[in-house]
């Protein structure tokens, strides 16, 4: 794909149309040819075969696609600049220069699931486990409200202690104390009845990354007990319950191909989530993927920008993973079309233990107490952090 053909793809996206899958794949490779930050480990093929066998799937071993280098590095940079500029223009049409903040409260790092990429997976015996009490969570909300937060995100592993009744009671207490605030949950896979009860108790939004729209790729990232179909069912259940629903995926996860990313875009187009979280894969030392390279920051930004053009009204965070992978990752995410930041309101000792991946940011501008520093950094990009719930609006 030459430069003009790539620019035509950007124009098509900007006009609200989706190019053919083959064009999208070639475009992503032209924009950001490096999928990973380093080489795939030698044992990757054996691991892949083992995971496929565990899932009872026929072998479809990953082979990195040869780089065609259809664009020079200068042309690729120019193309990304055009793409990011179009994504910013689209975001500014709907949100102006406003960046919405959510106060992130990491309520527990105890999890029953065993996702192969995650540092708080059940199989990580070295994780220092913790669980915030309802009183601690309410203290975080009170502190965050004073700092100007009007959305609280309760995120955690799938911790059985947080039953429907306990979570519902917590939601009612938050809504009673701060009725002008929105509450987002990110607590994993639950039943339709559970999602419905929590919605009635006051939850406004729910984040549940789909991780990958490719079922075979999903089986490589998760043990056989965790199914892609159940994840899809959960996302549909959240929509049915009336949540503003968030999906999302990692860029550069093990065995991800460009075609996987195209499938993610097609899924997002059809599912129409109100929020999408996109960040680079970053390995964790106590997981099966410890030896794999991180995902490309540039490719991640390309996916953020393409998602903005495809879903112009969506809430797109400049993720913590982007900030971890690159010192200016948050700012670059905003300049690629993101419009949400999620500073951490968790107690310091909890932030230090909620390690989903290596070197996860938890201090500095990532900490909600340093909101002034974050405001200053965002102002330098020409944007302003606003005190607002930041609800999804389709027009």
> Residue by residue, what is the 3-state secondary structure of the chain?
CCHHHHHHHHHHHHCCCCCCHHHHHHHHHHHCCCCECCCCCCCHHHHHHHHHHHCCCCCCCCCCCCCCCCCCHHHHHHHHHHHHHHHHHHHHHHHCCEEEECEEEEEECCCCCCCCCCCCCCCCCCCCCCECCHHHHHHHHHHHHHHCCCEEEEEECCCCCCCHHHHHHHHHHHHHHCCCCEEEEECCCCCHHHHHHHHHHCCCEEECCCECCCHHHHHHHCCCCCCHHHHHHHHHHHHHCCCEEEEEEEECCCCCCHHHHHHHHHHHHHHCCCEEEEEECCCCCCCCCCCCCCECHHHHHHHHHHHHHHCCCCECECCHHHHHHCCCHHHHHHCCCCCEECCECCCHHHHHHCCCCCCCCCCHHHEHHHHHHHHHHHHCCCCEEECCCCCCCCC
Domains of the chain (ranges; CATH) run: 3-386 (3.20.20.70)
pLDDT reported for residue 358: 74
pLDDT reported for residue 21: 96
What residues contact residue 3 under an 8 Å CB cut-off, 6+ apart? 71, 75, 78, 79
Q: Give the global pTM.
A: 0.95
Round to whole Å and give the CA distance between 309 and 87: 6
pLDDT reported for residue 277: 97
Contact between residue 221 and residue 211 where contact means Cβ atoms under 8 Å apart: yes
Contact between residue 73 and residue 8 where contact means Cβ atoms under 8 Å apart: no
Half-sphere exposure of 29 (CA within 13 A, CB side): 21
Q: Is the dihedral of CA 237, 238, 241, 244 positive or negative?
A: negative
pLDDT reported for residue 264: 98
Q: What is the pLDDT along the chain (395 residues), one digit of tens a residue?
A: 999 999 999 999 999 999 999 999 999 999 999 999 999 999 999 999 999 999 998 766 666 665 555 799 999 999 999 999 999 999 999 999 999 999 999 999 999 999 999 999 999 999 999 999 999 999 999 999 999 999 999 999 999 999 999 999 999 999 999 999 999 999 999 999 999 999 999 999 999 999 999 999 999 999 999 999 999 999 999 999 999 999 999 999 999 999 999 999 999 999 999 999 999 999 999 999 999 999 999 999 999 999 999 999 999 999 989 988 998 999 999 999 999 999 999 988 888 889 888 776 555 555 666 888 889 999 999 999 998 898 998 76
- Nearest residue to 247 via CA among 260, 234, 256: 234
């Amino acid at each position: 794909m030459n430069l003009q053909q790539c620019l035509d793809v950007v124009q098509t996206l900007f006009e609200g149309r989706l190019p053919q899958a083959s064009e999208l794949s070639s475009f992503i490779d032209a924009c950001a040819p490096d999928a990973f930050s380093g080489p795939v480990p030698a044992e990757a093929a054996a691991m892949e075969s083992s995971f496929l066998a565990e899932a009872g799937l026929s072998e479809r071993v990953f082979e990195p696609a040869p780089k065609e280098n259809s664009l020079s590095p200068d042309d690729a940079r120019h193309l990304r600049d055009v793409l990011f500029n179009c994504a910013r223009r689209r975001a500014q049409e709907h949100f102006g220069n406003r960046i919405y903040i959510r106060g992130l409260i990491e309520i527990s790092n105890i999890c029953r699931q065993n996702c192969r990429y995650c540092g708080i997976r059940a199989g990580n015996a070295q994780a220092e486990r913790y669980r915030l009490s309802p009183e601690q969570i309410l203290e975080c909300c009170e502190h965050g409200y004073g700092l100007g937060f009007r959305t609280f995100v309760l995120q955690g592993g799938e911790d059985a202690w947080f039953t429907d009744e306990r979570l519902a009671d917590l939601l009612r207490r938050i809504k009673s104390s701060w009725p002008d605030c929105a509450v987002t949950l990110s607590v994993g896979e639950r039943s339709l009845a559970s999602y419905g009860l929590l919605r009635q108790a006051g939850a406004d939004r729910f984040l549940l990354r789909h991780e990958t729209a490719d079922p075979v790729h999903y089986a490589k990232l998760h043990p056989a007990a965790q199914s892609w179909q159940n994840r899809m069912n959960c996302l549909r259940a959240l929509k049915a319950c009336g949540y503003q629903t968030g999906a999302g995926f990692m860029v550069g996860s093990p065995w991800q191909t460009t075609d996987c990313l195209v499938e993610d875009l097609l899924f997002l187009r059809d599912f129409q989530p109100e929020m999408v979280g996109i960040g680079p894969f970053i390995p964790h030392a106590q997981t099966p993927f410890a030896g794999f390279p991180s995902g490309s920051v540039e490719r991640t930004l390309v996916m953020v920008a393409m998602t903005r053009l495809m879903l112009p009204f969506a809430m797109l965070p400049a993720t913590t993973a982007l900030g971890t992978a690159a010192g200016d990752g948050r700012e670059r995410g905003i300049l690629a079309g993101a419009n949400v930041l999620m500073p951490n309101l968790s107690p310091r000792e909890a932030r230090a233990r909620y390690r989903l991946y290596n070197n996860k940011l938890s201090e500095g501008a990532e900490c909600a107490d340093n909101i002034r520093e974050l405001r200053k950094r965002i102002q330098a990009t020409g944007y302003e952090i606003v005190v607002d719930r930041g609800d999804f609006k389709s027009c």
